[in-house]
């Protein structure tokens, strides 16, 4: 039974003893100037705040943080009776309540790493690192309704989330020498959690009471393979006549290559409902063994789609995806399927025109996605959608503000757009 605490009651108890020790060690194994070997390691505890999750939920307008408005008309100064804000009344049987666990504690993450760095001459080095982390007491919300006769919905915030991350990171670095600078990195990683975001805005990340492990799976941002390389090269001027040399000197080239494997997709069906144990969530389907999960062919954007063949697994099924038992989560795991990877090459050329000792003018020509390689957004995850399993957008558009977690950037400034070229003049002083 839920009830409102007396006015002035703290939302949750203040926690003490949140000590965050950190330890780092570096050992030089070989001291040869052109063949140095260094071993580094570190471990630490890092605490987060609870304010981020409350900030997300404050926008819902739930009591006791909900706001109400009042029309003050066009008169100025305002009539005296309209100046004080209206009182925020407790929610009724259809109202919404925001309630933290009274014993809420600060979430924390234990992070560790071990790195071996080897010099390759005086200007180059290569390193291999193992990086890991374990998140505990992470914040997670549950939208429960109807929790009691006196409330319509309650957003509960508790320490039910946990996560694990492990990665092998390789890096080659060449410091600027003879006009050439290079940085190349490769990461092989796996991230697992019970919810990649605490707020109820992403249904697959919400907590369902009584099934804390039901959502354990690949993180929303789990990228198994990621490669990036950046190169800067100062093009040497040829030893020719003065006029051609003046035209050809001062040019530089910059190049960036990015490639990553596909992120996960959480398949769900709104037809099965949006609640389990009276809590909001995304209900996943059951999977019929022996039926392909993916379809391949040029008729699908990107050459791939989730299997959406009607009734292939039986009446009411889309491919192998079928309705789960009423009131239960389907046996398809959270984020069990994968969408599309991404590859892009960006190139820039610039030339500096010295004006004075501390002033120069720079001309730049920048080309994004030089090869015009098509990158596709995530396939539609809702089985109820007519285009289920197919990508409807290019990657840049799918990462726009309409996509949760996309970064809210205009598609022009996202990876995965069509080839574009821009010219610029910069004055440095």
pLDDT digits (tens, 9 = 90+) for 65-110: 665 666 777 777 777 777 777 676 777 777 778 888 888 899 999 9
Q: To the nearest whole number, what is the mean pLDDT of the chain? A: 86
What residues have CB less than 8 Å from 137, skipping those under 6 apart?
A: 105, 106, 107, 108, 159, 161, 162
Domain-embedded: residue 161: yes
Distance CA 70, CA 210 (A): 41
Query: pTM for the complete prediction?
Result: 0.85
| pLDDT value of position 219 | 94
**How distant, in Å, are the alpha carbons of 72, 88, 141 from that of 61?**
21, 11, 15
CA torsion sign for 341, 405, 183, 42 is: negative
Distance CA 231, CA 171 (A): 14
Residues spanned by the domain of 200: 19-68+88-224
Query: Structural domain tally of the chain?
Result: 1
| pLDDT value of position 66 | 64
Domain-embedded: residue 92: yes
Domain-embedded: residue 29: yes
Specify the residue for token string 């002083």: 429
- Check whether 277 has a pLDDT greater than 90: no
- Check whether 63 has a pLDDT greater than 80: no
- 226-241 confidence digits (pLDDT tens): 999 999 999 887 777 7
| pLDDT value of position 407 | 55
Distance CA 141, CA 154 (A): 10
- 118-160 confidence digits (pLDDT tens): 999 989 999 999 999 999 999 888 888 776 656 778 888 889 8
| pLDDT value of position 247 | 73
Highest mean pLDDT among 42-46, 158-162, 285-289: 42-46
What residues have CB less than 8 Å from 32, skipping those under 6 apart?
A: none
User: What string of DSSP letters covers 286-307?
Assistant: EE-TTS-SEEESTTSGGGEEE-
What is the band of 411 on the pLDDT scale with cuts at 50, 70, 90? confident
| pLDDT value of position 68 | 60
Domain-embedded: residue 163: yes
**Residue 303 — φ and ψ, nearest 5°?**
80, 10
Domain-embedded: residue 283: no
Distance CA 319, CA 317 (A): 6
Domain-embedded: residue 241: no
Distance CA 307, CA 295 (A): 5
Measured CA angle at 369 (ends 364, 374), to 5 deg: 165
**Short-list 328, 277, 265, CA closest to 143:** 277
Domain-embedded: residue 271: no
Domain-embedded: residue 61: yes
């Amino acid at each position: 039974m839920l009830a409102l605490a007396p006015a002035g009651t703290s939302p949750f108890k203040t926690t003490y003893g949140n000590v965050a020790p950190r330890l780092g060690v570096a050992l030089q194994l070989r001291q040869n100037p052109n063949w140095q070997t260094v071993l580094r390691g570190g471990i630490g505890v890092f605490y987060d705040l609870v304010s981020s999750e409350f900030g997300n939920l404050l926008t819902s307008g739930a009591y006791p943080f909900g706001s109400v408005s009042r029309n003050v008309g066009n008169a100025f100064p305002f009539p005296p009776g309209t100046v004080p804000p209206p009182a925020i009344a407790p929610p009724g049987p259809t109202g919404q309540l925001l309630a933290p666990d009274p014993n809420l504690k600060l979430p924390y993450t234990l992070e560790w790493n071990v790195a071996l760095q080897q010099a390759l001459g005086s200007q180059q080095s290569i390193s291999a690192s193992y990086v890991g982390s374990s998140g505990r007491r992470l914040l997670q919300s549950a939208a429960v309704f109807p929790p009691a006769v006196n409330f319509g919905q309650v957003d509960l915030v508790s320490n039910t989330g946990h996560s694990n991350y492990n990665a092998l990171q390789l890096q080659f670095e060449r410091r600027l020498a003879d006009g050439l600078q290079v940085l190349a990195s490769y990461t092989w990683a796996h991230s697992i959690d019970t919810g990649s975001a605490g707020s109820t805005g992403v249904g697959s990340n919400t907590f369902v009471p009584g099934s804390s492990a039901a959502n354990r799976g690949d993180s929303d941002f789990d990228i198994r393979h990621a490669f990036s390389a950046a190169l800067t090269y100062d093009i040497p001027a040829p030893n020719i006549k003065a006029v051609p040399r003046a035209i050809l000197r001062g040019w530089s080239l910059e190049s960036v290559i990015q490639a990553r494997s596909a992120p996960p997709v959480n398949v769900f069906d709104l037809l099965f409902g949006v609640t389990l144990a009276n809590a909001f969530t995304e209900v996943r389907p059951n999977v019929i063994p022996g039926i392909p999960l993916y379809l391949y062919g040029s008729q699908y954007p990107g050459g791939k789609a989730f299997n959406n063949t009607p009734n292939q697994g039986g009446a009411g099924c889309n491919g192998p995806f079928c309705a789960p038992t009423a009131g239960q989560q389907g046996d398809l795991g959270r984020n069990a399927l994968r969408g599309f990877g991404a590859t892009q090459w960006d190139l820039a050329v610039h030339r500096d025109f010295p004006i004075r000792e501390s002033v120069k003018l720079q001309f730049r020509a920048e080309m994004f996605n030089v090869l015009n390689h098509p990158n596709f957004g995530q396939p539609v995850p809702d089985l109820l959608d007519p285009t289920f399993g197919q990508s409807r957008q290019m990657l840049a558009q799918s990462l726009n503000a309409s996509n949760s977690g996309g970064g809210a950037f205009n598609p022009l400034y996202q990876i995965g757009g069509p080839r574009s070229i821009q010219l610029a003049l910069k004055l440095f002083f």
